[in-house]
Structure 1
């Protein structure tokens, strides 16, 4: 299981780096640092290793959803776009979706719901993952009061 060892080592490095972000002078610098960190998933030897790294990065980014949630969401979508494995992409999308709810920035992710059927084909996820996704989307739409009809549509898919 070399990918688990690599992910564990990577997690240690990431923890060390993110322990004190006060030395990063601007939001642009912070975004650049995380762009470099996210790009490390493209250097993995296997898709499993990339998934493990994506889990570590997305967990760290989503850890404090109320602190600069829009920036955190942007970082997660950057990570999403770098991943090759469809399940890894789904995993990061769910982290982004939950971050948007917890950070109260759902308006930044609602536009992606229009493409959800295409995402489902790409991700090829199981029924339980689909149910979790549809329920979360339905709750987001209900809470944002954007469209009761759309919320109901996703709820019936659930």
Structure 2
């Protein structure tokens, strides 16, 4: 299914978001192919569902996205063929000011990193910033899931992901 994804991403400064958190899901994801303008990702959700996603960047905030459900066993096989390593994170839905945020708490190589994303209907859409957000990292390759998955395995402190 084709969709347009417009999102902004922020570091998370504290755990006060947890008071409004719901719907946790454990995600394992890896990239099978990626270039500056596009990528192919496989994602396993809670070990019981899986999706294959193809993305193409059209502007700094917008991506054209094609996403398909795939069998879990095929996803497990594709994870083993990752370019780089498998990212592990728990994703929570967090309501703030009438909007839903995705908050990702990373494990494994990026343990200690927490990022928040909001999806928007347009690049100009206004929204309120929750007090638990840190600085915006939209467009920063350092915090793109694809870049983190294909980076050398360094500790979060060595990569400076906590700040």
- TM-score, structure 2 as length reference: 0.24
Q: Which one has a larger percent helix, Structure 1 or Structure 2?
A: 1
For the pair shown, which has the larger CA radius of gyration, 1 or 2?
Answer: 1
Greater relative contact order structure (CA < 8 Å, 6+ sep): 2
- TM-score, structure 1 as length reference: 0.25
